[in-house]
């Protein structure tokens, strides 16, 4: 899809681009293929939609038009999901330290508790930095933010996927 155009292959085994390995492994027989690139709003290809084996023969121009319309909707959905994820990340992270904020901590802990009905143990780790307010007041908020990031990042890096990421609360 380097050209970003639809590809209609009426006879898969007659096309050198077709790799029959999946068919051989599964016993499936691919007759025809129609592929349409999924492009983002900037025209960059971010995926592909593929349909196989139209009943009654090869795919035609109308099939391609319909798949392009479907793919356009899929592109919008993918971009919306990506944007939602980016917004959620910004909402869940402290902009200065990069660590999870209180809202993210509470939500993820609630989800973890709700999912822990299988009896599997889990743990939480809470750190209390003695005299942090004094450090913050005497050295400035940027130094305090840097200290929180330096303390929290190793925990965030070591956390398993199922563990709620570190959250540091402090008052300024």
Sorted by sequence, the CB contacts under 8 Å of residue 38 that are 6+ apart come out as: 45, 46, 47, 48, 49, 71, 74, 75, 78
Q: Among 50-59, 63-72, 91-100, 128-137, which is the least confidently predicted range? A: 91-100
| Whether pLDDT at 69 is above 60 | yes
pLDDT value, residue 160: 59
Sorted by sequence, the CB contacts under 8 Å of residue 145 that are 6+ apart come out as: 96, 97
If you average pLDDT over residues 27-50, what whole number do you get? 93
Regarding pTM above 0.85, the answer is no
| Whether pLDDT at 162 is above 80 | no
pLDDT value, residue 164: 47
Q: Is the dihedral of CA 141, 147, 149, 151 positive or negative?
A: negative
CB neighbours of residue 41 within 10 Å: 8
CB-CB contact of 34 with 8 (8 Å): yes
Report the DSSP beta bridge partners of residue 45: 39
């Amino acid at each position: 899809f380097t050209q970003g155009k639809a590809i209609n292959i009426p006879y898969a085994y007659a096309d050198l681009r077709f790799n029959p390995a999946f068919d051989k492994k599964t016993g499936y027989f691919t007759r025809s293929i129609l592929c349409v690139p999924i492009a983002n709003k900037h025209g960059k290809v971010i995926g592909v939609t593929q349909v196989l084996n139209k009943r009654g023969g090869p795919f035609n121009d109308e099939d391609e038009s319909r798949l392009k319309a479907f793919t356009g909707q899929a592109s919008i959905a993918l971009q919306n999901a990506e944007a939602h994820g980016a917004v959620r990340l910004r909402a869940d992270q402290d902009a200065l330290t990069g660590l999870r904020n209180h809202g993210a901590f509470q939500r993820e802990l609630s989800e973890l508790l709700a999912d822990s009905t299988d009896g599997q143990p889990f743990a939480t780790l809470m750190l209390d930095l003695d005299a942090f307010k004094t450090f913050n007041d005497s050295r400035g908020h940027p130094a305090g933010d840097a200290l929180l990031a330096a303390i929290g990042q190793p925990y965030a890096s070591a956390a398993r996927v199922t563990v709620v990421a570190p959250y540091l609360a402090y008052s300024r």
